[in-house]
Amino acid sequence: MVQGRRIRVRGQVQGVGFRPFVWQLANRLGLRGQVLNDPEGVLIHAAGADLDAFQAALRAEAPPLARIDAVEGAPARFELDGEGFRIVASQGAGAETRVTPDAATCAACLADITDPADRRHGYAFANCTHCGPRFTILRGLPYDRAQTTMAPFAMCPDCAAEYADPGDRRFHAQPVACPACGPRLWLEPSAGGDPLAEAAARLRDGAVLAIKGLGGFHLAVDATNAAAVATLRQRKHRPTKPFALMGGLDMIRAHATVCDAEEALLQDPAAPIVLLERRGCALPDAIAPGQARLGWMLPYTPLHHLLLQAVNLPLVMTSGNLSGEPQVIGNDEARAKLRDFCDAMLMHDRDIARRLDDSVERITPVGPMVLRRARGRVPGTLPLPDGFADAPQIAAYGGQMKAAICLVKGGQALLGHHLGNLDAALTWDAFLQADADYATLFDHRPALVACDRHPDFRASRHAASKGLPLVAVQHHHAHLAACLAENGWPLDGGRVAGIILDGVGLGDDGTVWGGELLLGDYRGFDRRAWLRPAPLIGGDSAARDPWRNALARLDQAGLSDWADRLFADKPLALARQAAERGLNAPMNSSAGRLFDAVAACLGICPDSQSFEGEAAMRLEALTADTAETGYAFGGTGPEIDPGPVFAALRDDLQTGQGADVIAGRFHAGLARAFADRARALVDSGAARAVALSGGCFQNARLLSDTLARLGDTPVLIHTRTPANDGGLALGQAAVAAARWLDGAVSR
Q: What is the mean pLDDT of residues 12-23?
A: 90
Query: What confidence score (pLDDT) does residue 37 get?
Result: 86
- The pLDDT of residue 515 is 98
The pLDDT-based confidence of 95 (bands split at 50, 70, 90) is: very low
Minimal CA–CA distance to 129: which of 47, 22, 208, 204? 22
- pLDDT at site 701: 95
**pLDDT tens digits, one per residue of 458-505:** 999 999 999 999 999 999 999 999 999 999 999 999 999 999 999 999
Q: pTM to 2 decimals? A: 0.95
One-letter amino acid of 734: A
How high is the pLDDT of residue 98? Answer: 62
**Interval 169-194 mean pLDDT:** 95
Return the pLDDT at 39.
79
240-264 average pLDDT score: 97
For the residues 86-103, what does the mean pLDDT come to? Answer: 75
Distance of CA 214 to the CA centre of its chain: 16
CA distance 396 to 415: 9
Q: What is the pLDDT of residues 112-171, one digit of tens each?
A: 999 999 999 999 999 999 999 999 999 887 778 999 999 999 999 999 999 999 999 999
Q: How far is CA 569 from CA 51, 365, 602, 607, in A?
A: 79, 41, 16, 10
- The pLDDT of 44-64, averaged and rounded, is 95
pLDDT band at 97 (very low <50, low <70, confident <90, very high): low
Interatomic CA distance for residues 26 and 41, integer angstroms: 18
What is the rounded distance in angstroms from the CA atom of residue 565 to the CA atom of residue 558? 14
pLDDT confidence of residue 485? 98
pLDDT-derived band of residue 441, with 50, 70 and 90 as boundaries? confident
CA distance readout (Å), 438 to 405, 432, 442: 9, 10, 6
Span 651-673, average pLDDT: 96
Average of pLDDT values for 212-234?
97
Query: pLDDT > 90: what percent of the chain?
Result: 89
Helix intervals (H) in 498-545: 541-544
Query: ∠ CA 479-483-485 to the nearest 5 degrees?
Result: 115
pLDDT of residue 648: 97
Q: What is the mean pLDDT of residues 417-426?
A: 93
Residues in CB range of 624: below 8 A, 6 or more apart: 658, 660, 661, 663, 664
Tell me the average pLDDT across 653-681. Answer: 97
Q: How many CB atoms lie within 10 A of CB 73?
A: 18
Residue whose C-alpha is closest to residue 303's, from 118, 128, 104: 104
Give burial (CB, 10 Å; 0-12/13-18/19+) of 641.
Answer: middle
The full 3-state SS of 358-412, as one line of letters, equals ECEEEEECCEEEEEECCECCCCCEEECCCCCCCCCCEEECCCCCCECCEEEECCE
| H helix or E strand, kind and range, residue 741 | helix 728-741
Q: Which residues pair with 506 in a beta bridge?
A: 512
**Residue 559 is which amino acid?**
L
* Domains contained in the chain, CATH given: 2-87 (3.30.70.100), 185-348 (3.90.870.40), 529-716 (3.30.420.40)
Cβ atoms of residues 413 and 132 within 8 Å? no
pLDDT at residue 93 tops 70: no
Q: What is the mean pLDDT of the chain?
A: 95
Q: What angle do CA 399, 405, 406 make, to 5 degrees?
A: 115
Average pLDDT value for residue range 535-561? 97
Dihedral sign of CA atoms 224, 230, 235, 236 in order:
positive
How does residue 627 score in pLDDT terms, banded at 50, 70 and 90?
A: confident
- pLDDT, tens only, 506-541: 999 999 999 999 999 999 999 999 999 999 999 999
The residues pairing with 75 across neighbouring beta strands, listed in sequence order, are 5
Q: Give Cα separations from 71 to 43, 76, 406 (angstroms).
A: 10, 15, 26
CA 411 to chain centre: 22
